[in-house]
Structure 1
C-alpha cells in the first residue's frame, strides 16, 4: 500500500480511529492492532510475503530469549550466527541470487567458456532490506547485552512490522522503538498535529518535487545517447532532487504517521545537500542506514582505532557494502566505491568531522562565498555519483558522465509533456531556499511563529500537491526496490 494512494487515505483514518477510540485502554490490544494493521498494510501489496516477516519475527524473538538464559560464550555466538545467517540468507536469496548467477556466467564467458546456469524469476519482497536489518539489530544488541530481550511476542511483532516504516525505513533500533511499543501510549493532540504537519511536508516533497521531476529524469536517462551535455547535466541534477524528495519525503510521512500513534522515530535526513564535504553529507543522508553500518559493521571491524591502513580498509568495506545493500547491480557497488574515494581525503586529513554545525551563508560576505562553494562542490560530486545509482549499467553510467562533463554541447530541452521547463527550475530554487530557511527544524518545517505565514504555507503546499498530482506518473517510492 502506497502512502500516496487512495487506499492509504482510507486506511489511515480507520486505523487511527480504532487505535485511539477502541483499543486505547489496553496496551496489548493497541499492539495487537498495530500488528494486524501492519500486516494488512504490507499484505495489500502481496500477502504471500507476510510469511517472511512472521518467520523473521519468530526467529529473532526466540533467539533473543535463548540468549537471555545463555551465558556460555560459544553458544551465544552460535545463536547470534544463526540469526545472521538465516536473515541474510533470505535477503541474499531474494535480492541477489540472480545477480550472483549472472556474474558467475559472465566471469566464465570472459575467459572464453560458456556455461548455462538457469536464473529464477524471483520477486523481491518490498522492504526486506529494511526489516531484515531492523530484526538483526535486536539480536546483535541482545547478544552484546546492550538490550534486555523482550518476553512479549506481540510487542516484538509490532516492533518488526510497524507499518509507517516497514517498507522503507527509517531502520529503527530496538533500543529506541521497542520501549515505546512496550509502554502505554496516550493521545497527545500536539504530537498528532506535529505529525500531520510533517506528513504534509513529506507529501509535498514526494508529489510536487520527486514525482514532477520523474518523467524528465526518465526521458533523459533512457535516451542519454541522443541528448547534449547540458541536458544530461539537467537530468543528473533533477535526479538528485528527485531521489531526495522521494526518499526524504517517505521518511517524513513515516515519521509523521508514527506520531499519530504516539511513536517517535529517528530522523533520517537533515538537509544533506547543505553539506560542506562528503563526511557531513553522510551524517545527514539516510542516517538510519549509515549509523547501522557504523555500529554493526564498521566498529566491529575495528573502526578507526587500528592502523590507518586498516581504517581505510574498513571505510572501503562499509561504503561498498552500503552500495551493494541498495541493489543487485554493479552500478551500486561502483556508487559505493565512488563515495569511499570521495570520503578518503577528508578521513586521511582528519577533516571528515570538521563541519558539525549548521551552515550559515549569511554570516559574512567571505563566509557566504566559501560556504557556498563548499556545498556546491559537495553537491556536484554527489550528483555525479547519482548517475551510477540511476543508470542501468556501468557502461551507460560512464558514457553518461563522459558526455556530460566533456562533450560541451548544448540544446534546449523540451519537457516530454510539453510543459515549461523554467517552471521546474523556479520550483527547485524556491524549494532550496525554503529548505535553507528551515535547516534547523527538519521535524517542524512550519515552525514560524506568525500564524498567517503558517496558514499561507499550509494552503500553498496543499494547492501545489493538488495541482501537481498526476495520476499518469508512477507514484511508487524509489527505495521500495531496495
Structure 2
C-alpha cells in the first residue's frame, strides 16, 4: 500500500479510529497494529507475509535463548544463527540472480559456457529494512544491551510496524520496542506535529520528487542523444528526486507513527546544506548510516588503529552500504566514490569538523560556506549518476558526454527546452528557501508564518496531486 494512494487515505483514518476510540487497552492496540501492518504489507503480495512472520519467529526465539544461555560459545552460535539466517534470507531474494549472472559472465571471459540457472525471484518489498531491524535486536540482546521480550505480539508489531516497515527509518529495538509496553494516551501536540510531517512529506514526494522523476527518467533513458547542459539538468533533477522521494517517505512514516503515539528517529536533516561529504552522511539516511556505524564500522575498529585500518574500515562501510542498496555494480561504485570523497577528510582529520547547523544564527551563508555547499552537492550529484544508471558503462558514458567539450557546446535547443521543466525551476527554489530558513525545525510549519506556509503547501499539493500518478517510492526496490 502506497502512502500517496487513495487506499492509504482510507486505511489510515480507519485504523486511527479503531485504535483510539474503540480499543483502549494496550494489548488490543498492539494487536490492531500487528493486523494493520500485515494488511498494509500484504496489499502488495500476501505471500511475502510468511517471510516477515518467519523472520519474527526466528529472532524472537533466538533472543530468548540468548538470554537464558550463559555459555559464551553457545551464545556465539545462536548469534551467528541469527546473522546467517537474516543475511541468507536477504541474499537469496535480493542477490541470488546477481551472483549467478556474474558467475556465468566470469567463466564466459575464459570461453567457458555455464548453464543459465537464474530464477525469476521477486524481491519482497522492504526486506532490506526489516531484516536489519530484527538482526540488530538479536545483536543487542547478545551484547546484553537489551532485554528480550516474551511478548510475541509486541515484538511482531515492532518488526512489522506499518509506518516504517517498507522503507524505514530502520529502528533500533532499544528505541521502538519499549514503546509497545507503555500505555499510550492521545497527545494532541504529538498528533499535530505528525500531521505536519505527513503534509511536508507528501509535498516533497508528490510536488517535487514526482515532477523531477518525469524529466530525470526521460534524460537518463535518452542520454546519448542529448547535450551536456541537458545531462547536467538530468543529474540535478535526479538528485532532488531521490532526496524528496526518500526523505518524503521518512517524514510521512515518522508523522504517521506519531498519530498512534510512537516516536521514531529522524532520518534526514537537510543533507543538501552539508559543507563536506562527512557531514552529508551524518544528515542522509541517518538510520542506515548509524546502523552500519554501530554494527559494522565500530566492530571493525572504527577510527582506531593505523591510518591503513581506518581507510580500510571506511571503504568497507561505504562499499557494503552501496551493495545494500541493490544487486548491481553501479551501487558498489556509488559507495566506492563516496568513500573516495570521504578519504581526504579522514587523512586530514577533518571528518568531524562540521557538526553544527550550517550558518548557525546567520540569515545567509558566507561565500566560503556557499562554496562548500555547492562543491559537496556537486560531488554527491556526480555519485548519483552511478546510482541512477542501469550499468557502469551507461554512467561513464553519461559523464563522458557531460564533460565532453563537443557535447557540452553542441546545444540542441529543442531537446534542451523540452526537458527544461519550468515547474521544477519554480518549485525547487520554494523547497530550498523553506528548508534553508527553517533548517532548525522539522518542517516549515513549526516556525514563523505557519498559516501562510501551510496554505501554500496545501495549494501546491492540491494542484499537483490531481495529476499525480501515485508512483512508487524509489526505496521500495531496496
Q: What TM-score bracket applies, with the shorter chain setting the length?
A: over 0.9
C-alpha distance in structure 2 between counterparts of 1:412 and 1:419, whole Å: 10
- The answer to whether the 8 Å contact 1:68/1:149 transfers is yes
User: Which residue number in structure 1 is paired with residue 324 of structure 2?
Assistant: 325
TM-score of the two chains, using structure 1 as the length reference = 0.96
C-alpha distance in structure 2 between counterparts of 1:243 and 1:445, whole Å: 20
Deviation at 1:403, TM superposition (A): 1.0
User: Which residue number in structure 1 is paired with residue 458 of structure 2?
Assistant: 462
User: Which residue number in structure 2 is paired with residue 371 of structure 1?
Assistant: 369
When the two chains are superposed, the root-mean-square deviation of aligned CA atoms in Å is: 1.6
User: Which residue number in structure 2 is paired with residue 165 of structure 1?
Assistant: 164
Deviation at 1:84, TM superposition (A): 0.5
Give the secondary structure class of the aligned counterpart of 1:165.
coil
C-alpha distance in structure 2 between counterparts of 1:360 and 1:411, whole Å: 39
Q: 1:343 to 1:11 in 2, by over 3 A?
A: same
Is 1:439 aligned to 2:439, yes or no?
yes
Give the secondary structure class of the aligned counterpart of 1:164.
coil
Give the secondary structure class of the aligned counterpart of 1:266.
coil
C-alpha distance in structure 1 between counterparts of 2:361 and 2:88, whole Å: 51
Deviation at 1:374, TM superposition (A): 0.2
Map 1:268-287; keep pairs closer than 5 Å. 268-287=267-286
Give the secondary structure class of the aligned counterpart of 2:163.
helix
Uncovered stretches (5+) of structure 2, i.e. residues with no partner = none
- The answer to whether the 8 Å contact 1:361/1:372 transfers is no
Map 1:215-234; keep pairs closer than 5 Å. 215-234=214-233
Deviation at 1:274, TM superposition (A): 0.3
User: Which residue number in structure 2 is paired with residue 19 of structure 1?
Assistant: 19
C-alpha distance in structure 2 between counterparts of 1:361 and 1:14, whole Å: 42
C-alpha distance in structure 2 between counterparts of 1:36 and 1:187, whole Å: 20
Deviation at 1:411, TM superposition (A): 3.5
- The answer to whether the 8 Å contact 1:216/1:415 transfers is no
Map 1:255-334; keep pairs closer than 5 Å. 255-334=254-333
User: Which residue number in structure 2 is paired with residue 185 of structure 1?
Assistant: 184
User: Which residue number in structure 1 is paired with residue 213 of structure 2?
Assistant: 214
C-alpha distance in structure 1 between counterparts of 2:240 and 2:413, whole Å: 21
C-alpha distance in structure 2 between counterparts of 1:403 and 1:448, whole Å: 44
User: Which residue number in structure 2 is paired with residue 396 of structure 1?
Assistant: 394
Is 1:412 aligned to 2:413, yes or no?
yes
Map 1:85-164; keep pairs closer than 5 Å. 85-164=84-163
Give the secondary structure class of the aligned counterpart of 1:45.
coil
Give the secondary structure class of the aligned counterpart of 2:45.
helix
User: Which residue number in structure 2 is paired with residue 194 of structure 1?
Assistant: 193
Provide Cα deviations, 1:144-189, integer angstroms capped at 9, x if missing partner: 0000111111110110000000000000000000011121111111
Q: 1:427 to 1:112 in 2, by over 3 A?
A: same
Q: 1:364 to 1:161 in 2, by over 3 A?
A: closer
User: Which residue number in structure 2 is paired with residue 72 of structure 1?
Assistant: 71
Is 1:478 aligned to 2:474, yes or no?
yes
C-alpha distance in structure 2 between counterparts of 1:301 and 1:413, whole Å: 53
C-alpha distance in structure 2 between counterparts of 1:92 and 1:372, whole Å: 42
Q: 1:169 to 1:63 in 2, by over 3 A?
A: same
Q: 1:420 to 1:294 in 2, by over 3 A?
A: closer
- The answer to whether the 8 Å contact 2:227/2:416 transfers is no
Q: Which stretches of structure 1, 4 residues or more, deviate above 6 A after TM superposition?
A: none
- The answer to whether the 8 Å contact 2:190/2:259 transfers is yes
C-alpha distance in structure 1 between counterparts of 2:321 and 2:292, whole Å: 8
- The answer to whether the 8 Å contact 2:158/2:180 transfers is yes
User: Which residue number in structure 2 is paired with residue 44 of structure 1?
Assistant: 43
Q: Paired residues, what number?
A: 475
C-alpha distance in structure 2 between counterparts of 1:44 and 1:354, whole Å: 45
- The answer to whether the 8 Å contact 1:231/1:413 transfers is no
Uncovered stretches (5+) of structure 1, i.e. residues with no partner = none
Q: 1:473 to 1:331 in 2, by over 3 A?
A: same
- The answer to whether the 8 Å contact 1:38/1:162 transfers is yes
- The answer to whether the 8 Å contact 1:159/1:181 transfers is yes
Deviation at 1:423, TM superposition (A): 3.0
TM-score of the two chains, using structure 2 as the length reference = 0.97
